[in-house]
């Protein structure tokens, strides 16, 4: 509905233009409109399962408490900790999904024509583009979820079922910096006593884990497996249906 409305305003006459500005704008505007519901979903996911530790009894209760204690509609939509991550997430995701697969198909794989000419090769390009897009999008998605968990205004901190940072993040850049620097996966040296001697067991890890970058890609393997599953299902069914990036895993 949002895309049709934008198209009727900015492109009232039929056009064969392949510009991605209108699809990206429709994705971005839709994501911003629905951002309070995404905030409620994140809060309900991370809250404790035990009733005595739960902050919300359901979606309506969560939305009413957030509106009451965290600045109303203005706080839900325009707070920098919610607005900036929402713009980055909802704008970058469709842009990557709409530009990477065609670029890989034409510039890397040398494909020409439409998807009907070589559906398998185009599907492979779509898969590669999706995997590459996850590397770009997931850090912003992770940061957005972290900032959504934080209570603002006069709201009490949520007793989450996962460990959260005692001190709140002060924005996207601050969240990125503290995730990378504070959540390193370096294992400390383990000491094993043997009588009066102590042997040091040094655990070697890859730079991926030691730099803390891994924490920005939690769930990457699962998302990657889902993309491969969609590709295999398309191969099995003998056809691929593209939807201009609207499908989301």
CA distances for 88 relative to 21, 171, 234, angstroms: 15, 13, 30
**pLDDT at position 249, please?**
41
Structure tokens that stand for 6 in this block? 């934008």
Query: Is 0.75 surpassed by the pTM of this model?
Result: yes
Predicted local confidence at residue 205, as pLDDT:
56
Asked if 123 contacts 231 with a C-beta cutoff of 8 angstroms, the reply is yes
User: What integer pLDDT is reported at residue 56 of this predicted model?
Assistant: 94
Which of 216, 95, 72 is CA-nearest to residue 153?
72
pLDDT of amino acid 10: 83
List of the chain residues with pLDDT < 50: 187-202, 242-249
């Amino acid at each position: 509905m949002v895309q049709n409305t934008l198209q009727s305003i900015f492109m009232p006459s039929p056009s064969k233009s392949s510009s991605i500005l209108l699809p990206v704008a429709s994705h971005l505007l839709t994501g911003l409109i629905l951002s309070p519901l995404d905030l409620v979903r994140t809060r309900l996911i991370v809250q404790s399962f035990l009733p005595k530790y739960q902050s919300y009894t359901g979606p309506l209760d969560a939305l009413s408490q957030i509106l009451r204690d965290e600045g109303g509609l203005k706080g839900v939509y325009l707070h920098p900790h919610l607005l900036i991550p929402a713009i980055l997430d909802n704008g970058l995701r469709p842009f990557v999904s709409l530009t990477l697969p065609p670029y890989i198909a034409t510039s890397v794989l040398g494909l020409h024509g439409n998807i009907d000419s070589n559906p398998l090769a185009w599907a492979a390009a779509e898969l590669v583009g999706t995997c590459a897009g996850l590397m770009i999008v997931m850090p912003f998605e992770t940061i957005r979820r972290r900032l959504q968990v934080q209570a603002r205004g006069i709201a009490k901190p949520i007793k989450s079922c996962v460990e959260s940072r005692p001190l709140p993040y002060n924005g996207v850049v601050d969240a990125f910096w503290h995730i990378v620097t504070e959540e390193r996966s370096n294992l400390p040296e383990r000491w094993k006593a043997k009588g009066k001697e102590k042997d040091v067991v040094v655990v070697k890890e890859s730079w991926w884990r030691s730099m803390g970058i891994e924490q920005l890609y939690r769930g990457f393997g699962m998302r990657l497996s889902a993309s491969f599953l969609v590709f295999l299902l398309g191969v099995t069914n003998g056809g691929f249906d593209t939807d201009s990036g609207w499908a989301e895993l």
